[in-house]
Amino acid sequence: MSRAVIVIHGGAGAIARQAMSAEKEQYYNQALAGIVERGQAILAAGGSALEAVTEAVRLLEECPLFNAGKGAVFTHQGQHELDASIMDGTTLGAGAVCGVTHIRNPILAARAVMEHSPHVMFAGPGAEAFAFGRGLERVEPEFYYTAERYAQLQRALAADAGAILDHDAPSGGDPLDPDRKFGTVGAVACDQYGHLAAATSTGGMTNKQVGRVGDSPIIGAGCYADNATAAVSCTGSGEVFIRGVAAYDVSARMAYGGLSLQDAADRVIFDKVPALGGSGGLIAVDAAGNVALPFNSEGMYRGVGYVGATPDIGIYR
């Protein structure tokens, strides 16, 4: 029997601690803890790692605090384009969708692709047609809207600063500066049988160009799981994580280099990603239930929940 655990993240980025009220911080901590507890309950009841990460990411998509599903950021053209992926470490089965605009929970679409299609990734209208054909919920783009995200886009447009902003003055009381945050959500889990799974979902980057796809829906870049090594979900500079095949690289360093989970994860986040000019973090778990949560940014929303233990929640370094 392995030590069953669920790990989640809600994005990484620059700290704006001075702008955050105690009430706001509590709001984030409660949201993270509640989602971890749901994952713990699934694992405690004998549920699979795949079930746990699916539900955890679905709940993160439903929470407007995070950039996935409800609360997704806006593109430069004022639209929403969502991406998600999932991988089963037992079978190496994987599914992903990208550039979707009407699916309430992209992670459920990604799982449907994995389980009901011979393909791994669907994009745009094709992804939506497949999802709706499987009975998934359709929403209008207004569903994703929040006033905070719209204001974020307006600041980006006014600054004419491109998709990755570098503002020193945060607003809205977000614990991480909302204009310098890599908004991705993800979950990894190990169940009692040592089976692993990973899931990642995102609304992308504020002010991104229509059609831009980052690492989140790309198997091996933003998401990877293999029972023999690790389950990994990334959050950070998407283009760099793609070029570095970041999630798979953690697994490869374990498989071919004999590194521990922690050492493999640390080398990717603290050596490889910065060398390519990127920042961010990842969450990872191995089949023994060991956990790694490295990040080279100032903060990362994160939560760890071993079955039977109180969730461990963090925002800052």
Could you tell me which residues come within 8 angstroms of residue 259 by beta carbon, excluding any fewer than 6 positions away? 253, 267
Q: Burial level of 261, CB count in 10 A (0-12/13-18/19+)?
A: buried
Ligand-binding site membership of 10 (annotated): no
- Catalytic option among 90, 184, 200, 206: 184
Helix residue ranges per DSSP H, the chain: 22-44, 49-62, 106-116, 124-133, 147-159, 238-243, 246-257, 261-267, 273-275
Is 235 marked as a binding-site residue?
A: yes
Would you list the DSSP string of 1-57? ----EEEEEEEEEEE-GGG--HHHHHHHHHHHHHHHHHHHHHHHTT--HHHHHHHHH
Q: Is 236 annotated as a binding residue?
A: yes
To the query of whether residue 184 is one of the catalytic residues in this protein, the response is yes
Contact 209, 255 (CB under 8 A): no
Report whether 237 belongs to an annotated binding site.
yes
135 appears as a binding residue in the annotation: no
CB 301 within 8 A of CB 176: yes
Sort strands 93-100 and 121-123 into parallel, antiparallel or unpaired: parallel
Give me Rg for the CA atoms of the chain: 18
Residue positions annotated with a catalytic role? 184
Known binding residues: 212-215, 235-238
Known binding residues for substrate: 212-215, 235-238
